[in-house]
Amino acid sequence: MTDIPMRGGSAGASGDAPFDAVATFERHRAELKASKRVWNLLALGAFTIALGLSIWISQFYPERLAEGVPRIFEYFGTIMPDLQWDRLFEGRDAQGNAVPGSIIFWYTDFWTYVELLWETILMAITASLLGTAVAFVLSFPAAANLAPNGWVYWFSRRFLEFCRGVPEILLALVFVFAIGIGPLAGVLAIAIHTAGALGKLFAEVNENASDRPVEGITAVGGSWTEKMLYGVVPQVMPNFFSYAMLRFEINVRASSIIGFVGAGGIGAELNRVISFYSDDRVLAVLILVILMVTIIDLISEDIRHRFIGKENF
């Protein structure tokens, strides 16, 4: 394109050397490209080194992959139930035994699973409520604009960071050791993590809240607590609620696996059927877990929309 003579400004009007816009642009572009190329090459080098190291450290070699991948498909074959169309809906026989090939045979422990799923949901609700309560209280001192003083701010921030920094499963492991196997350990672990994660989100909502209502409460002589309760809370409540519901959905997932370390819920059963049997029971439990998670998501989404809709109205 450079062969087309283009001149910027009032080119040719005076006798001065014409200001060639295209050439200037091209030169500037070449400079930018050159400086960017160095960085790009450096980034590419770092990336390649990281990739090479990662492959070496995790032994992610093609031959291992080629050996492993077919076994994955094999595995999915073994967890498929052996259902037969003609017996699919057959009930129990006279001795009370289920017929092989029927759904009843596949889901022999159906009611055990349902009971555990129920426990899972209860765990998620309790943990969400507890965690949200802690997050709610801590979100005000952890908001930069609302904290009564620097120390309180720093301390609540670090506390929330610690709560969400430690993985739930790890907390659950510790609680299982300290207070014994059972859902309480899971509830506490998830509640602590929820407090950390929600506390940060709540604090961010608080930081974005308008300070005019707070000034209003200050003007009539309100204490710090009153300022928060009547100045900030009414503004942030819808956001808090919607974040808490989203967290509840996450917690349902978390509580369905936290049983892996013995902290209650369906996770223990899932771990048992995968580690010990690896047969059609794996799929049976997985289907139920996915169903539960999906249904909870749908319900929670409905509640969220309804609540937010009402607030806007």
Question: In the complex, which residues of this chain contact other proteins (CB under 8 A)?
Answer: 39, 43, 50-51, 53-55, 57-60, 64-65, 67-69, 71-72, 74-75, 122-123, 125-126, 129-130, 165-167, 169-170, 173-174, 177-180, 182-184, 187-188, 253, 256-257, 260-261, 264, 270-271, 274-275, 278, 282, 286, 289-290, 293-294
Locus of tokens 């790890």: 170
Q: Rounded distance, CA 270 to CA 272, Å?
A: 5
Q: Minimum CB separation from other proteins for residue 286, in Å?
A: 6
Q: Choose among 109, 116, 112, 90: nearest CA to 280.
A: 109
Q: Is 225 exposed, middle or buried (0-12, 13-18, 19+ CB in 10 A)?
A: exposed
Q: Minimum CB separation from other proteins for residue 152, in Å?
A: 22
**C-alpha 271: how far from chain center:** 21
**C-alpha 17: how far from chain center:** 62
Question: Toward other proteins, which CB reaches closer, 102 or 191?
Answer: 191
Backbone angles phi, psi at 146, to 5 degrees: -110, -15
Q: Minimum CB separation from other proteins for residue 122, in Å?
A: 6
Q: Minimum CB separation from other proteins for residue 50, in Å?
A: 6
Question: Toward other proteins, which CB reaches closer, 144 or 290?
Answer: 290
Question: Toward other proteins, which CB reaches closer, 25 or 76?
Answer: 76
How many CB atoms sit inside 10 A of residue 132's CB? 24
Q: Minimum CB separation from other proteins for residue 242, in Å?
A: 16
Cα-Cα-Cα-Cα dihedral sign, residues 207, 212, 215, 220: negative
Q: Is 92 left (phi over 0), alpha (psi -120 to 50) or beta?
A: beta
Question: Toward other proteins, which CB reaches closer, 102 or 169?
Answer: 169
Question: Toward other proteins, which CB reaches closer, 88 or 237?
Answer: 237
Q: Minimum CB separation from other proteins for residue 125, in Å?
A: 7
Q: Rounded distance, CA 244 to CA 240, Å?
A: 6
Q: Which residues contact 300 (CB under 8 A, 6 or more apart)?
A: 245, 246, 248, 249
Question: Toward other proteins, which CB reaches closer, 23 or 55?
Answer: 55
